[in-house]
Amino acid sequence: MEKRSPKRRELKVSDYVNGVLDRDRAIIARTITLVESNSPRHMEMAQEVLKELMPYTGNSIRIGITGVPGVGKSTLIEAFGTMLCERDHKVAVLAVDPSSNVSRGSILGDKTRMDKLSRNKNAFVRPSPSSGTLGGVARKSRETLLVCEAAGFDVIIVETVGVGQSEITVRSMVDFFLVLMLTGAGDELQGMKKGVMEMADAIFINKADGPNKQAAMLAKTEYNRLLHFLPSATEGWETKAFTVSALTGEGVPEIWKVIQRFLALGKEHGFFEQRRKEQAMNWFDSLIEGQILASFYQNSLVKERLPQFKKKVLTGELTPTLAVTQLLSLYEQQQN
């Protein structure tokens, strides 16, 4: 048998399910690969596996972490995750990075990052699935999250970059959303997508160490002032800013304390359960709508005629309403 690529045994649905429930790392990895596959046969099998795993899901705290490239996400997650592992938590780290299939490489870095955490027996680090669309990445990440929960990981960290649409996607699949910042708040924020601040359940200003510490403290004060003006990301919870240093470890335990306060309050006041229900419904709705619209836009007649109608709208030859009426009437004629 060729050593570098041994022919792997085909697994049955029950093999996947039992392997995940037994927390067999190789099987977990293969289950995620199955979930990430775009082959119809694999997708069907993945759904059968997930259906069996569903009763074992939901028992983790799902934490989203975002921040612009260079903010130190990986280093912080490594420090935070290692601390949790030492406290006997089981930590899975997933990534949502729609750029990861682009040839210029992933924004979130290569697989060698979080080297220490990757080797911890209590941790499981998985890079972002490669996919053409954010929607595809999102579906895969959500289902990977469920696989990890079924495998008994009780802390799931979903990391993403603070650019584009991906942080909205991650916000929609986690309980708690942490935004990582650097000092120089105002300037940095200009590079962030609108509304990211308003999605945060906590802001941590990273690299609060050495000569940078004082500036980080000042930035914390500034952010807290700003947060006072913004509506809460989670009703019933007050978002605050903190400082942290992934380098020295100072402030890392505070992250977990904040999350535990959030959990306690969220379970007491019901916003934790409420958000999960809303997320499940929103996910369901967006899947339906995505598929309905995709089948419309992929229709050959629509593909052919849409650009002409758009052009007529842009030149003012047709009102959008009239253009849509005409296009849909062509589409309906073709359907019947």
Residue numbers of the site for a copy of itself (CB under 8 A)? 47, 50-51, 54-55, 57-58, 139, 142-143, 146, 185-186, 189-190, 192-195, 197-198, 222, 225-226, 228-232, 277, 280-281, 283-284, 287-289, 291-293, 296, 309-310, 313-314, 316-325, 327-328, 335
CA–CA dist 288, 62 (Å, integer): 24
CA–CA dist 132, 137 (Å, integer): 8
Residues in CB range of 211: below 8 A, 6 or more apart: none
Alpha-carbon distances of 287 from 64, 138, 166, 170, rounded to whole Å: 21, 10, 16, 15
CB closer to a copy of itself, 123 vs 227: 227
CB closer to a copy of itself, 89 vs 310: 310
Q: How far is the CB of 203 from a copy of itself (least distance, A)?
A: 12
CB closer to a copy of itself, 214 vs 329: 329
Nearest CA among 166, 199, 174, 209 for reference residue 79 = 209
Contact 60, 153 (CB under 8 A): yes
Q: How far is the CB of 129 from a copy of itself (least distance, A)?
A: 14
CA–CA dist 112, 127 (Å, integer): 10
CA–CA dist 309, 297 (Å, integer): 14
Compute CA 238 distance to the chain's CA centroid, rounded to the nearest angstrom: 22
CB closer to a copy of itself, 37 vs 75: 37
Q: How far is the CB of 204 from a copy of itself (least distance, A)?
A: 17
CA–CA dist 80, 249 (Å, integer): 9
Give the H/E segment covering residue 275. helix 271-297
Q: How far is the CB of 121 from a copy of itself (least distance, A)?
A: 29
CB closer to a copy of itself, 20 vs 318: 318
308 CB neighbour count, 10 Å cutoff: 11
Q: How far is the CB of 93 from a copy of itself (least distance, A)?
A: 22
Q: How far is the CB of 88 from a copy of itself (least distance, A)?
A: 26
For the chain, the C-alpha Rg in angstroms (whole number) is 22
CB closer to a copy of itself, 54 vs 301: 54
CB closer to a copy of itself, 253 vs 320: 320
Q: How far is the CB of 59 from a copy of itself (least distance, A)?
A: 11
CB closer to a copy of itself, 113 vs 171: 171
| Residues 159, 282, 61: CA angle, nearest 5 degrees | 40
The DSSP symbol for 18 reads H
Q: For residue 12, give both structure tokens.
A: 């049955």
Q: How far is the CB of 274 from a copy of itself (least distance, A)?
A: 12
Q: How far is the CB of 68 from a copy of itself (least distance, A)?
A: 12
CA–CA dist 97, 104 (Å, integer): 13
Q: For residue 5, give both structure tokens.
A: 């690529």
CB closer to a copy of itself, 35 vs 123: 35
CA–CA dist 224, 242 (Å, integer): 9
336 CB neighbour count, 10 Å cutoff: 5
